[in-house]
Each structure stands twice: as C-alpha cells, then as structure tokens.
Amino acid sequence: MQVRARGALDNRMLTTWARLYNSQIGRGDSYALHRPAISIWIIDEAHFGDGSWLHVFEAHCRRTGHTLSPNFLILTIELEVFRSLKQGSEWDSVGPGLRKWLTLLAEGETLDPEHLPESMADADVREALEIMSTFKLQDRERILYDSRQDYEWTRNAEMAEAIQEGMKEGMKEGEKKGRADGELDKALSDARNLKRLGVSTAIIAEATGVPQTEVEEL
C-alpha cells in the first residue's frame, strides 16, 4: 500500500475498524456479543515519521489516561522503517518468527526461494513466496488482459465512428443524388410539356438543359 495523505489514511483506519466492530452483530442482537476488533495496517512507506516501525493505537482519555474501550485497537506496521532497522536493539527486540514474516513482506519481491537466509529457509516461507509469485503472474496476466480489452474497446469505438462517418457521407451522397435525380425529372417533365406545345427541340434543349437527342425521343 502506498501512502500519500496521512489524514486520509488515518480516517480509513478508523472507518475500517468501525466497520469491523459494527459488522459483528445484527440489528436487535445484544452488545455483549461484540468481540475486540483489531485492525492491522501494513504500510509500505514511512507514515508517522517518528522512526518507529510499529504503532499500537487505542482510544483513551488525554487527561486521565482512562481507556475508552478494550475493543478498540489499531496496529500499523511501516515496512520502510522496518527495512532500515537491520541491527540494533529494536531489531533484536523483534522475535524471530515475526522478523521472518516482516522480512518476507518488506523484501519478498527480491528474495530467491532457492537462496534464502537461514532464518527464513523453511517450507512456510517458500510456500508464501510461491503464492506471491503467482500473484505477480496474475498481475501480469491482468495487465495483458486489460491491454487487450483497451485495444478491443478502442478498435470498436473507431469502427463505430467510421460507420457513423460512412453513414453520414452516404446520406450526403444520397441527398446529392436525390437532388440531381429530382432536377433531371423536372427538366424532362418541362421538356415534354414544351414539346407538346410545339416548341422546337433546339429551344427546349437550351431552356431545360436536356440534350436535344433526348428531347427528340420524348
């Protein structure tokens, strides 16, 4: 998880905890059925800026220190800070089991399953790395799928636009042809009427634009 705005993340933490806590019981159920809701946030970058990789938050009174409820607990783990430990008292204070899994989360993308540190060389870690590798493959496949979908959508949109343009052009051409046919029909009709009145074919041709040979055939 990448963090940009601290306030936004803090609000999401509280909202997530509230959702976890409130969703335990249904309408009309006893509040005694509630159990502690612990929200654990694993954050890729440094968030609080105090140099600590682990924070444990609970609701308590600033003046007396009284805890509002033992059911409220939010844990945050900042992987960027954890990566910088490596040694020292705080590093030594992290138990081997927790250190192993935090290292997996912090450095899993660079770990080689065949050349793991001795402290991490067990079946559980290798299985976790295999699962992470599967996720990466799925991500690549999803990206390829999304790219194909984007291509198909773009191509279909371009085809639909081309069809619409073609229809517009066809309508324009049809209108032009319709006007031309209408003008020709009117010219022929005028030529017939003039011919019935005994006007010479030469004059009819000049007046209507109908070739004289066609006037003679009317």
Confidence of residue 26 (pLDDT cuts 50, 70, 90): confident
Task: Give the phi and the psi of residue 34 in degrees, each rounded to 5.
Answer: -65, 145
C-beta of residue 99 within 8 angstroms of C-beta of residue 64:
no
pLDDT at residue 105 above 80?
A: yes
Report if residue 202 sits inside a domain: no
Report if residue 41 sits inside a domain: yes
Asked whether the whole model's pTM tops 0.85, one would answer no
Report if residue 74 sits inside a domain: yes
Segment 121-131 shows an average pLDDT of: 82
Report if residue 179 sits inside a domain: no
Report if residue 77 sits inside a domain: yes
Domain that holds residue 47: 1-25+34-94
Euclidean distance between CA atoms 117 and 126, whole angstroms: 12
Report if residue 130 sits inside a domain: no
Report if residue 140 sits inside a domain: no
Euclidean distance between CA atoms 72 and 22, whole angstroms: 12
Euclidean distance between CA atoms 197 and 200, whole angstroms: 9
- Token match 């051409």: residue? 173
Count of domains observed in the chain: 1
Confidence of residue 1 (pLDDT cuts 50, 70, 90): very low
Report if residue 14 sits inside a domain: yes
